[in-house]
Amino acid sequence: MNEILTRIEGRAGRIRLDRPKAIHALTKGMCTAMIAALLEWRMDDSVELVLLDHAQGRGFCAGGDVVMIARSGAGDGSEARAFFHEEYRLNHLLFTYAKPTIAFMDGITMGGGVGISQPCRFRIATENTRFAMPETTIGLFPDVGGGWYLSRLPGRVGQFLALTGARLDGAECLHLGLATHYIPSDALEGLKKRLASEPDRIEALLAEAAIEPPEARIAGHRAQIDRLFAADDFELILEALGQDESDWARKELTTLRAKSPQSCKVSLRLLRDGARMQDFADEMRQEYAVAAHIVQRHDFVEGVRALLIDKDNQPRWNPASPEAVSEHLIDTIFAPMPQGEEWTPL
């Protein structure tokens, strides 16, 4: 079954995710198919822009095929590494693509869906958008460029999203700059047709279709987020939340206590490093090394088991506490890949 639909429509190249039963979660084959289309259209003068959306079902893209990745991680990890290598090549290709790209984040946009939407020049949110990087729940980390994108959000919002996996709606995405436009979902099909026929009017067409979004709820918590998530030390964040008597802080502390302590510390290091990265390829190179190491560690295999396989929602993290996750362990996870095994762009 073809899980990626590609065609030229008018003056636009169209890439449509079509794996609805998995909410279009990405496989290596899907990444390869998207790369092939983008490379072909890069040299095709008849293609003036690229539209990226999903063909059917709910959600744009729920992430990657993490069950496959976990099963590989429990073995030699080779299949998991091959997936990440290809996925990150796709992320980087979109990030550096010269022609305009437009991602329609209509519905669930998580993990791998963030990785293929955020590099696009235009990112459309709707009333259906549910955006999140929930990887700490399964012992992973916000990859696919998360260290780059989240570290560049205002204040400490990126650290908050990376640690808690909080879901954002379309209005919040627009407020934070994760989306460039807020457009009603029932206007999208007509808009796509106009974009394909008038690619020289992209910005005007998007502006005409955009509406004023509802109030961004996260704006009301910005002061708390910036104050309580100010540290790059996970224990200090937990301490700050524990000393705050608000219901919001108590709720977020309970959320963090359920996450993988290892993943939370990895995520904070990733954003700290990502803020200083000058080249997106360097970000992808580091994230690949971290991914290659972390998928073969206990927490990822255990997190996928608890959430997606046995579904008991009772992960047994190891190390079990933040204090037990040493700096040496994090350094080991961030160690560069051996020569000849590093990630490389196309």
Q: Give the residue numbers marked as catalytic.
A: 64, 112, 135, 143
Close Cβ partners of 231 (under 8 Å, ≥ 6 residues apart):
237, 240
What secondary structure letter does DSSP report for 275?
A: T
The two tokens of residue 254 are 């309970």
- For the chain, how far is it from start to end, CA to CA, in angstroms? 26
Looking at residue 130, the DSSP 8-state letter turns out to be E
Sheet hosting strand 130-132, strand order edge to edge: 108-110, 130-132, 168-169
**Partners of 103 in beta bridges:** 52, 123
> Which parts of the chain are beta strand (E)?
4-9, 12-17, 49-54, 101-105, 108-110, 122-125, 130-132, 168-169, 181-182
Using DSSP bridges, classify how beta strands 12-17 and 4-9 pair: parallel, antiparallel or unpaired.
antiparallel
- Residues 135 and 143: their CA atoms lie apart, in Å, by 8
Residue 337 and residue 150: Cα distance in Å, rounded?
Answer: 24
Q: How far is CA 183 from the centre of its chain?
A: 21
Backbone angles phi, psi at 14, to 5 degrees: -115, 130
Going by C-alpha positions, the residue among 222, 224, 245, 242 that lies closest to residue 322 is 242
H/E segment holding residue 168: strand 168-169
What is the layout of strands, in order, in the sheet containing 4-9? Answer: 4-9, 12-17, 49-54, 101-105, 122-125, 181-182
Cβ-based neighbour number of residue 22 at 10 Å: 17
Asked if 225 and 233 count as a contact pair (C-beta separation under 8 A), the reply is no
